[in-house]
Amino acid sequence: MPNNMWVLQKAQSFALELLLVAILVVHLNGLNQEGQCLLEMKRSLNGQFGRMKSWVPTDLDPCDWEGVSCVNNIGGPRVWSLNLSGMNLAGSISVAISNLTSLRVFNVSKNKLSGEIPPELGMLLQLEILDLSTNRLHSEIPPQLGQLSSLRKLYLFENYVRGNLPQELGNLSSLVELVIYTNNLTGPLPPSFKNLKNLKIIRAGLNMLSGPIPPEISECDSLQVLGLAQNQFQGEIPKELGRLQNLTNLVLWDNEFSGSIPKELGNCGKLEMIALYENSLVGRIPVELGNLKNLRKLYVYRNNLNGTIPMQLGNCTSALEIDFSENMLKGFIPKELSHIKGLRLLYLFQNQLSGTIPRELGQLRNMWKLDLSINQLSGSIPIEFQYLTCLEHLQLFDNELSGIIPPEIGVHSNLTILDVSENILSGSIPSQVCKFEKLILLNLWSNHLVGNIPNGVKTCKSLVQLRLGNNKLTGSLPTELCRLVNVTAIEVYQNQFSGTIPSEMGNCKSLERLHLSNNYFVGHLPPELGNLSQLVSFNVSSNKLTGSIPLQLAKCIKLQRLDLSRNTFTGSVPEELGNLVLLELLMISDNKLSGRIPGILGRLSHLTELQMGGNFFLGPVPPEFGQLTGLQIALNLSWNRLSGQIPAELGNLSLLESIYLNNNQFVDQLPPSFAKLSSLIVCNVSYNNLTGPLPNITIFHKMPASCFIENQGLCGEPLSDACQPLYSWPSVLPPEETKTSLGQIVAITAAVVGGTSLAIIISIFCFFRRPVRVLVPFEDQHSVTSDVYFFPKEGFTYQDLVKATNNFSEDVVIGRGACGTVYKATMPTGEVIAVKKLASQREGSNVENSFNAEISTLGKIRHRNIVKLYGFCYHQESNLLLYEYMPKGSLGELLHGKSSVLDWDTRYKIALGAAEGLSYLHHDCKPHIIHRDIKSNNILLDDNFEAHVGDFGLAKMIDVPYSKSMSAVAGSYGYIAPEYAYTMKVTEKCDIYSYGVVLLELLTGRPPVQPLDQGGDLVTWVKSSIQTTPLTSGVLDERVELSKRRVVEDMVLVFKIALFCTSMSPSDRPTMREVVSMLIEAKEKSMHVTSSPTSETPLNEDSE
């Protein structure tokens, strides 16, 4: 027994000695090989290593280091997982990583790593998860990654990875998830993907992938999510996708797919989402989609689909949202949709649907948003709609609906938006439409409604917009409206309201738009209206108002449009109106105003139109009017008692198109300075006492002689050489004759009456003689035997355009949009232009609407930052628009594509140019123009990187009478202002929000659409990121010179402007004029602040 104890003690002693020797050996050797590899990797990085302090060379192994996990093997611990996500690391990925041969997980996501993806990663044969997402990597995908046969998840999203997808990725036999969205990848999907039998998820959106989807993708039997949105895929959607029995999400929106929707998709029984919107799909909606019992969301809007809505869709009983809007669907709305009991959103707007609205839709108790606008629906609004307890948005505008509005609409639900405008509805306004005080928009304009404004509307505290114009409403303007603190717009024009305008109206502190025109209001304008500090547009024209113009209106300092015309105002024009420096439209014509015209009105430098005709103004025209250099539409001083010489200063109005000085008492010559009025179309100076020659320039030669008649001594073209008047007035009486005979009185009276009638006719003729704006009506253009052209110069024919585009070949396509394709055309003269070919008119009214919009908008615009329209051609149902060619393409292509990087000075130049172009549309056009689709792809660049705002397919005039609230989605995802969701109304502020998104693109280099887990859009991502991340550490685009202090300080100032533009509240956003001023000021401030010699020194790490 003692011997055994002795043996045991010896053995224990020997083991202890061995352990000590082993420890000594390890300490002599130091950190193991894998630890050395990790330190080598750390040396390739830079940044703030706060979380990597544990990475020290004195350890035996790296297993306790931050982000490192090990597994014990026979030969000792081996690194199994390396997770450095979100550690604010920069630099590159070291090839030393390839020595970690046991590595299963490598995650360096959410850092600022740049450089290449090391091909040596292909040596990590046990790797299962590779996550390099949300960095700044800009290489191609190494084909060596195809060697990773154990790889299950490959995440490369949100980088600048370029090039084609390697065929070798088809060798990743274990791959389950491939997530590569938001990169610069190009080329096709490799057919080798058919080998990925375990693949469940492909997310490759927001790249530049192209070509057709290979039918072989259908051999990926396990595929559940196919996400290829926002690429350039073409061709038809493969019918072979119908073999994917496990497919749940098919997301192909915003590509260039054509052809029809494959009926075979009806075989994919597990499908939950189909998103095919914003393509060029045609044909019918397959009835086979009715087989999809699990379908929850079906989005096919903004295509060219026709035919009827299949009744079989009523079998999709799991559906929550269906959006077929902005197509060319015809026929009835199938009542079978009422079988989808869970349906909460149904958008069918902007189609060609007819018939009645099925009463059965009133059974959809979960319905939240219903929009059937812009169709040809008739009959009544189903009474059952008033019982839909979840209904918040009901939009039925621009149809042919009749009958009454359901009287209890709003009684049983939290109704937020009710828009049934542009129908033929009768009856009264429902009294309890705002019972729960959630109503934001009430738009009932252009119907046949009668009666008073009910109490339920007058006291609706949530109301933001009240639009009741063009009805037959009566009564007085309710004083209760003045207590609605949120209301920004009150429009009751063209009704039968009477009484006085209540002084309490001055209490509407948020009011921006007050339109009361074409009613029977009487009395004075209350001076309390001067308290409306937010008022932008005020129109009381065509009423019976009397008294003087209250000088308190000058306190409405934000006023841009003031129309007091066609009333009976008396007295003089208050000089205080000259303080309304933002005023763009001033109309006080057809009143009984008198006295001299105040010269201080010459301070209104933003005026584009000034109408003062039809009054009793005396004296000379103020020479200060020569300072109104923004005047473009018209200066009308006709039918007054103005005298003296026409001031030469008016020759400074170089943008002016129409000037009306007729029927006054002007003397002497027409100023020679009028020869400088290069934009002039109409100059009517008839019925004055002018003498001398007319300016000998072409624009005057082309005007009708009737615009110069009844002046004693005018001569020159277009008048006859003898300068004989076209109408003979009685000779001047001798001085001694002091009385006029009865016969002379009769003769003179007859002459005046006749002359006045003739002058009115001539004035109307002159006013409408505007060649740029008067187009051949489209209904008269549809002759198949003739072409219709509008060009400022001759020489282009349809045949020239066909030849210049090689018969509209795909080889010269330079862009595609929702309404057509853009071709590069080299004309016989060598001149290069861009030709936009709109889709055939047979494909629906959307196309013609787009054609009309672009012509009516661009045809009158002259600005260096607006794409120039050369003309149009209509040929056998082909609508062609001819534009100035922009050789640098779009900002979006340069910013997010694989092209050369834009430096900050170029980006700032583009930002300012785009702002000036948009400011011109908002403030200097008549009527003012909302672009509706501002985005980086619609900002085009010339050879000098000068920005030109283009693509007016969605442009709408702000000031068109009775302009409708467009329910059809205006704009592009990521750019749409938040208030559009509840107002469905596009305003200038929506454009400003979209422009702010473009600024953020320029500043961050990121696209407008972001992953859902980061907010889904750029604005949300930015506002979230700046709460936790310095601007120079992951927010500002690292591709610009962030090492230069001047650049960073400049970008920070512009960043503040971008946040200002993207404010949640429209009232908090600046105007485009203010944006231009702020951009200029920011540049000047930056240059001033950074003018020291050290301004270009690199930023140290602490400054980040």
Residue 132 CA to residue 151 CA, distance in Å, equals 14
Residue 275 placed within a domain: yes
Residue 490 placed within a domain: no
pLDDT digits (tens, 9 = 90+) for 807-835: 888 888 887 765 678 888 888 778 888 88
**795 in the same domain as 752:** no
**1008 in the same domain as 1035:** yes
**Number of structural domains, the chain?**
5
Q: Which of 55, 54, 26, 31 is nearest to 42 (CA)?
A: 55
Domain boundary among 312, 344, 379: 379
Domain boundary among 357, 379, 401: 379
pLDDT value of position 1086: 60
**207 in the same domain as 229:** no
Residue 315 CA to residue 261 CA, distance in Å, equals 18
CATH number at residue 321: 3.80.10.10
Residue 276 placed within a domain: yes
What H or E segment, with its residue span, contains residue 250? Answer: strand 249-251
Residue that the structure tokens 């990169």 belong to: 183
**797 in the same domain as 749:** no
Residue 980 CA to residue 989 CA, distance in Å, equals 10
Amino acid making up residue 155: Y
Residue 407 CA to residue 383 CA, distance in Å, equals 8
How far are the Cα atoms of 364, 393, 419, 429, 433 from residue 436, in angstroms, in the given order? 21, 14, 17, 16, 8
Q: Compute the C-alpha angle 972/975/980, nearest 5°.
A: 90
User: Side by side, which strands form the sheet with 788-790?
Assistant: 788-790, 869-875, 878-884, 832-838, 820-826, 813-816
CATH number at residue 1063: 1.10.510.10
**170 in the same domain as 270:** no
Residue 902: which residues within 8 A CB-CB, separation 6 or more?
Answer: 894, 895, 910, 945, 1040
**1089 in the same domain as 972:** yes
Give long-range contacts, CB 8 A cutoff, 24+ apart: 1049-1055.
1049/1086, 1049/1089, 1049/1090, 1050/904, 1050/908, 1050/1082, 1050/1083, 1050/1086, 1050/1090, 1051/904, 1051/1003, 1053/1082, 1053/1085, 1053/1086, 1054/908, 1054/911, 1054/999, 1054/1002, 1054/1003, 1054/1079, 1054/1082, 1055/999, 1055/1003, 1055/1031
The single residue of 563, 933, 951, 1037 carrying the catalytic annotation is: 933
Host domain of residue 282: 224-235+243-379
Burial class (CB in 10 A: 0-12, 13-18, 19+), 739: exposed
477-479-481-483 Cα dihedral, nearest 10 degrees: 170
Residue 991 placed within a domain: yes
User: Side by side, which strands form the sheet with 450-451?
Assistant: 450-451, 472-475, 496-500, 520-523, 544-545
- Cross-strand pairs, 377: 355
pLDDT value of position 781: 32
Q: Which of 891, 928, 867 is nearest to 1073 (CA)?
A: 928
Residue 22 placed within a domain: no
For residues 321-335, one letter each, b for 16 or more C-beta atoms within 10 angstroms of the residue's C-beta and e for the rest, the string is bbbbbbbbbbeebbb
The per-residue DSSP string of 648-666 comes to GGGGG-TT--EEE--SSEE
Q: How close are the terminal C-alpha atoms of the chain, in Å? A: 74
Residue 934 placed within a domain: yes
Q: Which of 142, 132, 144 is nearest to 182 (CA)?
A: 132
Tokens of 205: 């959106």
pLDDT value of position 760: 36
Residue 21 CA to residue 6 CA, distance in Å, equals 23
Phi, psi (5° rounding) for residue 694? Answer: -80, 150
Residue 111 CA to residue 796 CA, distance in Å, equals 55
Q: Which of 408, 396, 400, 511 is nearest to 463 (CA)?
A: 511
636-638-639-641 Cα dihedral, nearest 10 degrees: 110
Residue 622: cis peptide before it, omega within 30 degrees of 0: no
**200 in the same domain as 294:** no
Residue 731: which residues within 8 A CB-CB, separation 6 or more?
Answer: none
Residue 214 · residue 240 · CB < 8 Å = no
Residue 1087 CA to residue 1076 CA, distance in Å, equals 17
Residue 153 CA to residue 130 CA, distance in Å, equals 6
Burial class (CB in 10 A: 0-12, 13-18, 19+), 16: exposed
Tokens of 718: 């277009």
Burial class (CB in 10 A: 0-12, 13-18, 19+), 60: middle
Residue 718: cis peptide before it, omega within 30 degrees of 0: yes
pTM above 0.75, yes or no: no
Residue 461 CA to residue 483 CA, distance in Å, equals 8
Residue 364 · residue 342 · CB < 8 Å = no
Quick one: DSSP state of residue 168?
G
**Sign of the alpha-carbon torsion through 71, 77, 80, 82:** positive
Residue 830 CA to residue 825 CA, distance in Å, equals 9
Q: How many CB atoms lie within 10 A of CB 571?
A: 13
Q: How many CB atoms lie within 10 A of CB 139?
A: 17
Residue 737 placed within a domain: no
**229 in the same domain as 205:** no
Dihedral class, residue 499 (left if φ above 0, else alpha if ψ from -120 to 50, else beta): left
**345 in the same domain as 269:** yes
Q: Which of 562, 564, 550, 555 is nearest to 534 (CA)?
A: 555
Specify the pairing of strand 832-838 against strand 820-826: antiparallel
- Cross-strand pairs, 185: 163
Residue 1040 CA to residue 1048 CA, distance in Å, equals 9
Quick one: DSSP state of residue 565?
-
Phi, psi (5° rounding) for residue 234? Answer: -130, 180
Residue 673 · residue 652 · CB < 8 Å = yes
Amino acid making up residue 736: E
Residue 903 CA to residue 544 CA, distance in Å, equals 60
Residue that the structure tokens 């051999």 belong to: 219
How far are the Cα atoms of 1, 218, 262 from residue 240, in angstroms, in the given order? 82, 6, 9
Tokens of 71: 């597994």
What SS3 state is found at 1036?
Answer: coil
**781 in the same domain as 706:** no
**353 in the same domain as 279:** yes
Residue that the structure tokens 């979840």 belong to: 390
pLDDT value of position 1041: 83
For the chain (1104 residues), the mean pLDDT of every run of 10, in chain order, is 54 50 48 94 82 90 95 90 94 95 96 95 97 95 97 96 97 98 96 97 96 96 97 97 98 96 98 96 98 98 96 98 96 98 96 97 97 97 97 96 98 96 97 95 96 96 95 96 92 97 94 96 97 95 97 95 97 96 95 97 94 97 95 94 96 92 95 89 93 86 88 84 41 33 37 38 34 28 38 58 84 75 84 78 45 56 79 69 86 77 90 90 77 89 89 47 39 77 72 94 86 70 79 79 84 92 87 88 63 32 30
What H or E segment, with its residue span, contains residue 246? Answer: none
Count of all residues that appear for the chain in the document: 1104
pLDDT digits (tens, 9 = 90+) for 1063-1101: 888 888 999 988 988 888 887 766 554 433 332 333 333
Residue 252 placed within a domain: yes
- Residue 905 a catalytic site member: no
Residue that the structure tokens 């971008």 belong to: 1058
292 alpha carbon, distance to own chain's centre: 35
Residue 314 · residue 337 · CB < 8 Å = yes
Q: How many CB atoms lie within 10 A of CB 219?
A: 17
Residue 226 · residue 250 · CB < 8 Å = yes
Phi, psi (5° rounding) for residue 1042? Answer: -70, -10
**751 in the same domain as 852:** no
Tokens of 478: 């309710």
Domain boundary among 885, 913, 936: 885
CATH number at residue 873: 3.30.200.20
